[in-house]
Structure 1
Amino acid sequence: MVIGNICVEDPNLPIEIRKLVGDVMENAAKFSFNEVFGPLNRFDLLGKGKRLVSATRKYDKLLEQLMKKYEDNFDMLINSTGDEEQKDVMIILMEAYKDTNSELKLTRMHIKKLFLVSS
Structure 2
Amino acid sequence: MKQRVQPARYRVLAHPAIADDLAMLAGYGPQAVIAARKVLDDLAYARVTGKLLGSRYVTGDLTGYASVKFDVPGSPTRRFRLVYGDIDNETRGVLAIGVRDEHAIYRLALERLQTSNESSTADEF
TM-score (norm 1): 0.31
Q: Could you say which structure has the greater relative contact order, defined with CA pairs below 8 angstroms and 6 or more residues apart? A: 1
Higher helix fraction (1 or 2): 1
TM-score (norm 2): 0.30
Higher strand fraction (1 or 2): 2
Tell me which structure has the larger Cα radius of gyration: 1
